[in-house]
Amino acid sequence: MFKYITRRLLYMIPILFGVTLLTFFLFNVVGGDPAAQAAGKHATVEQIETIRKELGLDRPLIQQYLFFVKQIVSLDFGRSWATKQQIWTMFKDGVGPSLSLTFPAFVLAQILTISLALLVARWRGTGFDRTTKIVCLAMMSLSSLVYILWGQYILAYQWGWFPISGWDSSLAGRWEYLGLPILIFILLSIGGNVLFYRTVFLDEIYQDYVRTARAKGLSETRTLFVHVLRNALIPIITRVVLQMPFLILGSLLLESFFGIPGLGGIVVQAIQNADFPVIKAMTFLSAILYMVFQLISDVLYAVVDPKVQLR
């Protein structure tokens, strides 16, 4: 396993090089003049030229790219064009609020949807199964904006169960503002997760080992929650672990609508302000997180199933 992990880490180097090249090309070449974007719509030619010199955009593209690579290697992404803050400091400050929202919501959503999918698989073919599928499909068909606006207008504004939006930086006070976005996060996860896990569990239910367990007299509930769940761990791990980077990177819409100062809100503000350094840094960090968690998922395959060999 050590050789496998080492080899996978070495494979990441050319991939990351390709990510840096593509990111630089998109934002510095295809995306238009970054200096004009940073200066704004009403800037004069002199102001644009001044900004171009301040940001080093008057240098040849190869020098700009090498400087970008140097920033990545040193984890010093420079300053935001919009806020003038250090980008790394902005990211460190945003991780806590993002995880405060996404981590508990994600854990609760996985427990709820896996349990519900097991129950649906237990009573497959019944009215409960068909009703659940219809409800899940309907939930998937609705835009996330519908859930957000419904929660803010009905649950927060009319019924007064939650604050409409806001944030408290203290660890104890923030949960008052996180209740509604966590609830919406869970609602957004139910449809797709339940249908996916239901399919996974039904694939396992018709395997020979399940018939053997039933022949030995094991109850249907024990067969499902012990044997079927354990043997379905590989697709579950794949779905869960590959969603981890998005937990760290935050939820763009939820953080924006509820005023949560997380990484998702930072990205939305950067897009609105054409803040290219922040967007490029976030793009690169997203690529790193995705590759790292993909490696973790592969390693976990071998942990939960000894028959899996990493090569």
Give the pLDDT confidence of 136-148 residue by residue, as tens digits. Answer: 999 988 888 899 9
Q: Using N-to-C axis directions, what is the helix angle for 175-205 and 87-122, rounded to 10°?
A: 40
114-165 pLDDT, tens digit each: 989 988 888 888 888 899 999 999 998 888 889 999 999 999 989 989 998 8
The closest alpha carbon to 262, from 172, 154, 167, belongs to 167
**What distance in Å separates the CA atoms of residue 283 and residue 270, rounded to the nearest whole number?**
12
Other beta carbons within 10 Å of 227: 19
Amino acid at 101: L
- Residue 310: the pLDDT is 57
**What distance in Å separates the CA atoms of residue 196 and residue 112, rounded to the nearest whole number?**
13
Residues sharing a CB contact under 8 Å with residue 106, sequence separation 6 or more, in sequence order: 185, 189, 243, 247
- Residue 306: the pLDDT is 61
SS (H, E, C) 6-40: HHHHHHHHHHHHHHHHHHHHHHHHHCCCHHHHHHC
User: What torsion, rounded to 10 degrees, do the Cα atoms 69, 75, 76, 82 define?
Assistant: 90
Domains in the chain, ordered, with CATH?
2-74 (no CATH), 98-304 (1.10.3720.10)
Give the chain's residues under pLDDT 70.
30-33, 37-41, 250, 304-311
How far the first Cα of the chain sits from its last, in Å, is 8
- Residue 50: the pLDDT is 80
Start-end of H helices in the chain: 2-25, 34-39, 45-54, 61-74, 87-122, 127-141, 144-150, 175-205, 208-215, 220-222, 229-231, 233-241, 244-249, 252-258, 263-272, 276-304
DSSP state of 275: -
Residues sharing a CB contact under 8 Å with residue 302, sequence separation 6 or more, in sequence order: 1, 308, 309, 310
Location of structure tokens 């996985």: 110
Residue count (the chain): 311
pTM recorded for the entire structure: 0.81
